Amino acid sequence: VIKRRPIHPSITQRHIDTLVDTFYDAVWADARLGPIFKSRIADRPAHLATMKRFWSAVLMHTGAYKGKPVPAHVKLTEVVESDFPRWLDHFGRCADRVFEPEAAVLVRAAARRIAESLWLAMSGDPFAPPPAWR
């Protein structure tokens, strides 16, 4: 039997739901990121449900997410590299509010690694230097 353990024992689906809800409030209100999300996401509740499954899979290893994040971002041609540290700032702040400190460090690290790999895929250049976001 495969044990599905969260990346930190304190993490629950309730934390993840709050993380996603507060993070999307923050990016929606962001002067740069807000217009990108608003113009691209027609059904916010459906997107939030997808994101809750995504973070449940990443942080709790539930397998709840079955989507393809790379093509979803490669088509976002208006996104530039500096949007990623901005995204990570909001995400990190929300994670710090929701999780225990030890868990928040792991959640931030997971987001950063996925962000780096998404940006490398979006930049389309296998020789691009790895991003150096704070």
Give the residues lining the site for ligand HEM (CB under 6 A). 33, 36-37, 40-41, 50, 54, 67-69, 72-73, 76, 79, 83-84, 87, 111, 114-115, 118
Exposed e or buried b per residue across 13-23, where buried means at least 16 C-beta atoms within 10 angstroms of its C-beta:
eebbbebbebb
CB 39, min distance to ligand HEM, A: 8
Least distance in angstroms from the C-beta of 17 to ligand HEM: 15
Q: Which is nearer to ligand HEM, 10 or 114 (CB)?
A: 114
Can you tell me the distance from the alpha carbon of 3 to that of 125, in angstroms, rounded to the nearest whole number?
Answer: 37
Least Cβ distance, residue 65 to ligand HEM (angstroms):
7
For residue 40, what are the contacts with CB-CB under 8 A and spacing of at least 6? Answer: 76
CB of 29 or CB of 76, closer to ligand HEM? 76
- Give me the residue whose beta carbon is nearest to ligand HEM: 67
Q: For residue 99, what are its two tokens?
A: 């999780």
Q: Quick check: 108 and 92 in contact, CB under 8 A?
A: yes
Question: Least distance (Å) from ligand HEM to the CB of residue 27?
Answer: 8
> What percent of the chain is helix, strand and coil (3-state, nearest 5)?
65, 0, 35
Which residue lies nearer to ligand HEM by CB, 3 or 132? 132
